[in-house]
A and B are shown apart, each in its own frame.
Chain A
Amino acid sequence: MDIPPLTNGYEIVYKKPQTLTDTPMHYCPGCGHGVAHRVLMEVVEEMGIQDRTIGVAPVGCSVFAYDYMNIDMQEAPHGRASAVASGIKRVLPDRYVFSYQGDGDLAAIGTGETIHVVNRGENILMVFINNGVYGMTGGQMAPTTLLGMKTTTTPYGREVKTAGHPLRITNLVAQLPGACYVTRQAVHTPTTVRKLKKAFRAALEYQQKQQGTCFVEVVSNCPSGWKMTPAEANKWLEENMFPFYPLGDLKLPAQSN
């Protein structure tokens, strides 16, 4: 039996999109994944493309994205999401295809795939969640871990001498001719969430124009991995992550004449 919602005469204007399932998310309190999932799925619903959208989630915290996103999805081996997405897009060129990858996946083990997928200009959307840490395996150093940042594998802070520099792969990707739209967004405040949603919408719309790869980095947090409360994590994000990973567009699509 369907129980009618208690609206007391008010109209419901904000509800869960039917592109999300009812499965409770496993993400930690304060984590940005849940909001990023929701915003992306809102766009899919608003564009009316649920029946033409295929997502790819590789190993990492978001490997269970298929439990939450009510669309056809493929789980990919670690680092290979964009290769899997390329395979899907090549045989189903009229579908909307996206990968949803973390920093370890996209910028460490999957760097080769990332560079070549964008360089081929595959008409897919790559969502890149950068929280500077390997979340799922318990907070190890990621390629994007900031200098001095403590992780379980850099317990005294990341040092250039032993661990090299944090990688701004989005800047690298923006240099490639196959990239159509490259932007860096965030997901920790209502304002950044609205901007992120616009970026997702633009990226999916560009996909239809077949102008190349759209790449949306989301600079996010990891309260559990960072050993902080959600509020502390968001403050740390603004004070430390944003200066090194400044928000904004890195490449906009070529204007058609």
Chain B
Amino acid sequence: MEEKAEVRLMKGNEALAEAAFRAGMHAYFGYPITPQSEVIEYLMAEQPSHPECVILQAESELAAINMIYGASGAGARVMITSSGPGISLMQEGISYMSSAQLPCLIANIQRGGPGLGTIQPSQGDYFQAVKGGGHGDYHLIVLAPASVQEMADFVFEGFRLAEKYRNPAMILTDGALGQMMEKVVLPPKGSLPYPEKPWATTGKTKDRERNIITSLFIQPEKMEQINLGLQAKYRQIEKEEVRYETIAVDDAEILLVAFGLTSRICQKTQQLARERGMRVGLLRPITLYPFPVEPIAALAAKVDAVLVVEMNAGQMVEDVRLAVEGKCPVQFKGRMGGMIPSPEEVLQAVETIAEKQHAEL
């Protein structure tokens, strides 16, 4: 039976879970943590309709990520989700998977930290997501959805990129996007093809050498070669996979840069500013790694100032400053600990910058 795309009203976490079934996921291993438990609850409830898919609640995030390691090494399409503290616990396994070049999709439905923090939304795990997170030199491919639709779409994109590059991919989102309900168009099941995985440990047949999944290369000469190989892969990803979106940047004097939930808030701010006669545009990075360095650098040469808005103490702003390279001032507006900035609050920051620019003229 040919399946068709379907329109539904869903929570972000549910859309992500449903998309995983439709993207042909073989296995999910997880552990409950707010604000993402709907993912495993949804998967468990719907599993009988997808008997080919393994859904297992592990005894810890530590065990879960290592089950993911094993299943991915055995050739399965695998996903794991968690939030802040749980993602921190998984970092050793994610570092191993990056070195062993095992594809997997990880979703971090962020909550406010540090520590046990709060269950309210945050973007405080940006550094952890885009700079590696665990030990050693590695990168995840990081996608930042800004709607329930993208929570579903990026599951397909995340699996595709992870398998294309044999690299863990992460959907970096937050509790608000996980919990909010929106209309979502779900692609049909079976629309994402499975690539060949000749490296997988499925049992050594007579026609091939044994397959080994490992991150141990004890001779430094070999370990350096492995690192050089990873770095070459990251350069290719940086060249080919940058994704971003811009709104009204052509004549912009002030450029807002924000990802995920804050990019939606900034979209409203941008409209309010235009209504008040201020020429404000918005750039929204969709891939946080690879980061849209060149588009930001190009716009920085044209605008008077950049304002970065995040739900943290200022993390992506460091990457924006590296991209801007001093071409214009880069300001930051953030809220922390689970607090969400309002469009009006961001507008005030825009107005302060605009007034300062005019005073200098």
Contact = CB atoms under 8 A, between A and B. Distances in A.
Given A53-B203, A84-B69, A91 B74 contact: yes
Given A76-B69, A83-B58, A87-B67, A51 B204 contact: yes
A92 B63 contact: no
B271 interface: no
A95 B203 contact: yes
A184 interface: no
Q: Top 5 closest A-B pairs, CB basis?
A: A87-B70, A87-B67, A84-B70, A72-B201, A83-B66
Interface residues of B, number: 40
A75 B102 CA distance: 12
A104 to B, nearest CB: 16
Contacts of B205: 51
Given A51-B203, A66-B212, A77 B93 contact: yes
Interface string A73-88: 1111100100111111
Interface in B28-80: 29, 54, 56, 58-60, 62-64, 66-76, 78
A194 to B, nearest CB: 27
Contact of B204 (A56, A70, A85, A90): A70
Contact of A80 (B62, B73, B75, B76): B62
A51 B210 CA distance: 9
B92 interface: yes
Given A51-B205, A88-B71, A113 B63 contact: yes
A226 to B, nearest CB: 24
Interface in A36-78: 50-54, 56, 63-64, 66, 69-77
B234 interface: no
Interface of A: 50-54, 56, 63-64, 66, 69-77, 80, 83-88, 90-92, 95, 112-113, 116
Contacts of B96: 77
Given A54-B203, A87-B27, A95-B203, A73 B213 contact: yes
A12 B213 CA distance: 35
A88 B204 contact: no
B111 interface: no
Interface string B222-242: 000000000000000000000
B62 A72 contact: no
A90 B27 contact: yes
A87 B66 contact: yes
Contact of A83 (B63, B76, B203, B215): B63
Contacts of A69: 210
A86 B71 CA distance: 8
A112 B214 contact: no
B344 to A, nearest CB: 48
Contact of B206 (A51, A66, A87): A51
B361 interface: no
A247 to B, nearest CB: 30
